[in-house]
Amino acid sequence: MKGIFKENLLLLRKRKGLTQPEFGKLIGIKIGQVSKYERGVSKPNVDLLIKMSEVLECSLDELAGK
């Protein structure tokens, strides 16, 4: 999940026209954490993945790269 997820997260966030701070605010996390996810340093829990997919208007499969 680490490699594909980080690329998809960045792509989907940019497709929605959201900056890291804007996205973080919408899903309830700090900008530093968004950056860690997009760099593949950290992985979100399932609840946060669901919230991300809702904000990005995509499926969990699309976010995970399946």
Q: Does domain 2-64 have CATH number 3.40.50.80?
A: no
Measured CA distances, 33 to 9, 27, 66 (Å): 13, 11, 23
Strands (E), the chain: none
Helix (H) and strand (E) counts for the chain?
5, 0
Q: Are 63 and 43 in contact (CB under 8 A)?
A: no
**What integer pLDDT is reported at residue 66 of this predicted model?**
76
- pTM metric for this prediction: 0.89
pLDDT digits (tens, 9 = 90+) for 1-37: 446 999 999 999 999 999 999 999 999 998 899 999 9
